[in-house]
Chains A and B, each alone.
Chain A
Amino acid sequence: MSFLNTLFNGISLGSMYALIALGYTMVYGIAKMLNFAHGDVIMVGGIVTLEVMQNFVSGMNPIVGALISLLAAVIICTLLGVVIEKIAYKPLRSASSLAVLITAIGVSYFLQNVALLTFGSKKKMISFAFLDKFDIKINEQLTIQGSTVINIVTMVVIMILLMLFIKFTKAGTAMRAVSEDNGAAQLMGINVNGTISLTFAIGSALAGVAGFMFLGSYAAIGAYSGTMPGIKAFTAAVFGGIGSIPGAMIGGLLLGVIENFAKSILANMQLGTLVDPIVFIVLILVLLIKPSGLLGKQVREKV
């Protein structure tokens, strides 16, 4: 049964990667930039969740308290994402993509250092004991953990809502139009800057959810906690095909499963520390074999 355990843990981890990858992929699709500060927004989401849980809602019913802290994380991350876009990226709209990339890395360091200053350099722990209530016991050997159930359900619900939004609402259709041809979109009267802000808001809100999930899965958070999940989710986005929303989901899930199986196999061989390189080998293989990713569109050069 350890196979199924590993699989479910992988899907759980992959659900978190998928949510983070969505942020990368949507921003890339619309603003044509890689927001490398995205991982640190997750860290902020995790810290907000932890602080609210420990300081503001400790007397409440744990599930209500968790929902309040999730809401706080989502609101703060959304605002943070929009502010970052306005201050750091918007002035660079016509700059080279390299300048934007370097700026994104700068924003990433900025967020990490603000977190170091305010939150401290030590990781803080919290337990989401209430998640045990969501455990699903299949048989004696196999129990699907509550955090896994919550992660998967959350990811699926968010994915469905997001697809419906993109496909059927006016703002969602405008996003697809901007993603395809930003000049033509302006000729339709679509406010491209507004659309980009909305994209950052959605991506960062999802990062807030991911921060909550991270805390639920790892029970600890620190100023640097966003870096690894950020880079891995970026790998997932590339794996699935950057710019593609279903691609982010599939890439995230696959990467989570691959990582967990690699972890369990390597642990048996006493090589547990090699897990992270495995993930990046996946990135390198994807870039070598199918650079457009599993569901990515073939990039056609304009003539």
Chain B
Amino acid sequence: MAMLEINDLQVSYGMINAIKGISFSVEKGEIIALIGANGAGKTTTMHTISGLLRPKSGNILFNGVDISKVPAHKIVSMGIAQVPERRRVFSQLSVMDNLKMGAFTRSDAREKEETLEMIFQRFPRLKERANQAAGTLSGGEQQMLAMGRALMSKPQLILMDEPSMGLSPLLVSEVFDIIQSINDAGTTVLLVEQNAKKALSIADRAYVLETGTISLEGKASDLINDDSVKKAYLGE
């Protein structure tokens, strides 16, 4: 059984169909990339999985349970966390409070403390700036915070929406290294990216989303050599 299975999902904003019946799956332990241009429906898909949007039809099975009607705040405790597009850290809250909010659904203080230690080890910068308002961090640091915040819920599946957006090439590589290491530590990753090259380089499998439908799918190593992908998304 796949960890996440999306069946014939349709999502619309009023009269406009943003997602026109897509199906895909994420197996435990994988990194899956969802690539595509602006407006292809990547973020809509992420928001629907997280419960911020309701599908018009189709379903979303997480560990075999349909979560398409579960409210957003309950999906986190089921084991899905999201690093949203443009990070969306709480800029007026301290770095520490942001991380605490990430663990909002957890109650065991000692376990939370352990997760926090782990996150501070991974992102030492966040520890240095724990008492600073998140809005004062640089873009790269905010991305680290958004990832740390999502990890605070100890998710089985982490959704990452455009984690490389607006970062310098050096930081982009760092972010992808971090995603790889989060995955190595046992968290399944669903990654949405415009930076298709980087995404395909760490993903196991990938889906290409084009105006609300999946146009191509396969092993990331195959797609990276696919002529149409090269032309449309890799700029070659």
Contact = CB atoms under 8 A, between A and B. Distances in A.
Interface string B215-229: 000000000000000
B151 interface: no
A181 B76 contact: no
A177 interface: yes
Q: Which one of A185, A186, A190 has the highest number of Cβ atoms from chain B below 10 Å of its Cβ?
A: A186
Contact of A185 (B81, B100, B101, B150): B101
Contacts of B153: 188-189
Interface string B183-209: 000000000000000000000000000
Interface string A173-198: 11011001101111111111000000
Contacts of A185: 90, 101
Interface residues of A, number: 17
A189 B73 contact: yes
A169 B82 CA distance: 24
Contacts of A187: 50, 52, 72, 76, 81-82, 84, 88, 150
Given A174-B101, A176-B92, A177-B93, A184 B73 contact: no
- Report whether over half of chain A's contact residues are helix, strand or loop; otherwise say mixed: helix
Contacts of A170: 100, 104
Most buried by B among A174, A181, A187, A188: A187
A121 B196 CA distance: 71
A108 B207 CA distance: 54
A173 B52 CA distance: 21
Most buried by A among B75, B84, B91, B104: B104
A275 B155 CA distance: 59
Interface of A: 170, 173-174, 176-177, 180-181, 183-192
7 contacts: A174-B101, A174-B104, A184-B84, A185-B101, A187-B88, A188-B153, A189-B75
